Amino acid sequence: MSSTSSIRVRFAPSPTGIFHVGGARSALFNWVMAKQSGGTLVLRIEDTDASRNSPEWTEGIIRALAWLGMDGGEYEGPYFQSANADKHAAAARTLVDSGRAYYCDCTREDVVARTGDQHKGYDGFCRDRGLDPGPGRALRFRTPYEGQTTVVDLLRGKPVFENALLEDFVIARADGSVTFLLANAVDDMSQGITHVVRGEEHLPNAPKQQLLWEALGSEPPVWAHIPVIVNEKRQKLSKRRDKVALEDYRAEGYLPEAMRNYLMLLGWSPSGDREIVPWEVIVEEFRIEDVNTSPAFFDEKKLRAFNGDYIRMLPVEKFISACLPFLEDAPFEVDMAVFAQLAPLAQTRVALLSEIVPMVDFAFLDEPPEDERSWAKAMLKGPADEILAGAEDAYRDAPWRADELKTRLEQVGAEHGLKLGKAQAPVRVAVTGRTVGLPLFESLEILGRERTLARIAAARARLASATG
């Protein structure tokens, strides 16, 4: 693809369920191609399957695209396939009138009875029967049995398909509704689509749709079938088995910038030895021809690491703003002035925004949260009470600064032959409730002397009760 030629690409999802990360990647690839060339991205909602479609799924698609950065100003549409029913019907009539399609009343059982093979495709029985439309009669495309159809694909070269193996496929059902193959081709033609970029699972449809384009008097588009996305077992991502809903990742606190960057790397690599790449660089460097055809592994652990990197790159003010939806749902009231002090500490620790609530809850609860595993690990081994007693004495008159609090606890630990890492464990659990969390001494400074000492005393009382 020339980087200077203006193109028209489309993203054409069906509103039949959650917004799949694979669909999000297809949308991004198409969007970037349009931006590079000064071309146009068309959003078309393929909503002709009335039994499975829902307006809420359509709204979910539009919200998901907006979250990724594709608001209404980034694409043309949305158009709805159902609005093109007249065009689809007209195309079907054109194919019948030109002899490129015919009516067929064969059932699957009829075909099996004639061929003796339940796996064999349609045998062309009705090609020359001259049936008129009527109940129980579908419309089939008259595939040229001779020759081959070559699909020019920007990723896969020129796959060749034997026409004799394509069979006469159905383009309109007995009830008059057209199939995906015809509707998709007609919509692409009427909307002037020049490049069709979609998942490789659609590659077997390409020769059929290309034949339809040609039969309707149009030049086929440029094809690009991008690689399938697989899980760690190298199985194709499935919404029944894997976490694939973009909405779920958003709800967990993934940043759109991180998701966008990661999805663009599923099959493509930027220049140099780097993966965290500014969006502007991705838009400049991406070439659909450079996409690898091998299956792309969706590594959630890697995505999580990406997200942590993007969180740490945020200005602290934006980090605080990004945390607000999660803080608003917290089961306690958040003092934003206190949170503003904790935010720089938390920003270095969280990989997901949803982790912010358990990271800072100790500062807003009347008592630290109870975590029995943390308690057992820190309090029931070693001289926990002696460390707490020493900290209580040392902190009673200490200058209330993180550096001084650290020095004093180091001294307490040394008296018991413990390094700081071991000495601070019971203090951390006494004050924050957990063995892992924000930097301890900065947290104590923010929490204040009175609350810190009260929590240490309460932990000592619990220890005494347990051992008494």
Q: Is 156 exposed, middle or buried (CB count within 10 Å of its CB: 0-12, 13-18, 19+)? A: middle
CA distances from 419 to 10, 51, 374, 424 (A): 61, 66, 19, 9
Contact assessment for residue 111 and residue 122, using Cβ atoms and an 8 Å cutoff: yes
Contact assessment for residue 441 and residue 410, using Cβ atoms and an 8 Å cutoff: no
Q: Is 381 a catalytic residue?
A: no
- List the catalytic residue out of 87, 158, 239, 377: 239
Estimate to the nearest angstrom the gap between the alpha carbon of 283 and the chain centroid: 19
CA distances from 204 to 32, 302, 376 (A): 25, 32, 59
Token pair recorded at residue 399: 């200058």
Contacts of residue 294, Cβ cutoff 8 Å, sequence gap at least 6: 227, 267
Tell me which DSSP letter residue 348 carries.
T
Amino acid at 334: V
SS3 label, residue 171: strand
The helix/strand count (H/E) of the chain reads as 19, 12
Contact assessment for residue 43 and residue 75, using Cβ atoms and an 8 Å cutoff: yes
Amino acid at 185: A
Contact assessment for residue 305 and residue 298, using Cβ atoms and an 8 Å cutoff: no
Please give the positions annotated as active site: 239
